Amino acid sequence: MHEKHWSDGVTRVAVLTGAGISTASGIPDYRGPDGVWTKDPDAAELFTYANYMADSAVRRRLWRTYADHPAWCAEPNDAHHALAEIDAAGVAVRILTQNIDGLHQRTTLADRKVLELHGSMRSTVCTRCGAKTPTESVLARIPAEPDPPCRNCGGVLKPAIVLFGQPLDADVLSHARTIAAASGLFLAIGSSLQVEPAASLCSIAVRAGAKLVIINRDPTPYDDEAVEVIREPIAAAVRHIRKFVTDR
């Protein structure tokens, strides 16, 4: 790594995190060699909004998937904690996560410093009346009601995540863009950077003068914009960055 070229004087760090940061917590990614969609390409169809809304069989399968999701038992790993430690050391950190597992909020990092771009699996919303409820209470109904309707209006329930074909929440995306543009260092960690508009936050940061550092096992479409691309294991790389950003 060539940290001295981009770590000196950093006071604001924005971090875009993808599925790769949570694999060490036992949560598989999507597109990697052992990814959910690599092993079962048809599983991606569950995460398409039109399919989900049109087909009860798709909804039943998705609810079964979430009932057994490893995130319910997962704990934050060293990479999650290292990012929180950078913030605790006095460098302002904001997390812009594509993940829906809620692990960043289980570190010492304040919830307000985590922006969930693609929503959260821990909450469920009614697609008709908008009522929200904890997902775990919905999952408790699955054995008797494999496609549980909303108890308020009978509408279709959906985990409060952004499915393919759904736009990101406009306010969340606007806030993320503001954070990216205000950062001095923008870290993209464990993301293929293939899903837009989240991936474009890299370019927004660079255009505003931030240094972009990408930590990912595989090449991404934004590697050419980065001052450094790091291929080593994520936890080790983030710990290394924590040392150089905070030990000054």
CATH number of the domain enclosing 101: 3.40.50.1220
Domains: count for the chain: 2
- H helix or E strand, kind and range, residue 96: strand 92-97
**Range name among 37-46, 77-86, 165-174 with the lowest pLDDT average:** 37-46
Residue after which a domain boundary falls, among 136, 161, 186: 161
Give the pLDDT score at 47: 83
**CATH number of the CATH domain containing 150:** 3.30.1600.10
Residue 87 and residue 200 share a domain: yes
137 and 238 assigned to the same domain: no
**Quick check: 98 pLDDT over 70?**
yes
**131 and 142 share a domain?**
yes
Counting other chains too, the contacts that 191-197 makes at CB distance below 8 Å and 24 or more residues apart are: 191/16, 191/17, 191/18, 191/19, 191/20, 191/98, 191/216, 191/220, 192/18, 192/31, 192/216, 192/218, 192/220, 193/18, 193/220, 193/221, 193/222, 194/31, 194/220, 194/221, 195/98, 197/168, 197/173
The answer on 135 and 236 residing in a single domain is no
**81 a catalytic residue:** no
Instruction: Say how far apart CA 49 and CA 211 lie, in whole Å.
Output: 35
Name the residue range of residue 201's domain: 1-27+76-118+167-248
Q: Are residues 111 and 231 part of one domain?
A: yes
Rounded mean pLDDT of 161-188?
96
Q: Which of 2, 118, 175, 240 is catalytic?
A: 118
Q: What is the mean pLDDT of the chain?
A: 92
Average pLDDT over residues 202-216: 97
What pLDDT was estimated at residue 248?
A: 59
pLDDT exceeds cutoff 60 at 1? no
Are 104 and 188 in the same domain?
yes
Q: What is the mean pLDDT of residues 47-64?
A: 94
pLDDT > 90 in the chain, percent = 84
Check whether residue 153 and residue 210 sit in a common domain.
no
Q: Are residues 240 and 175 in the same domain?
A: yes
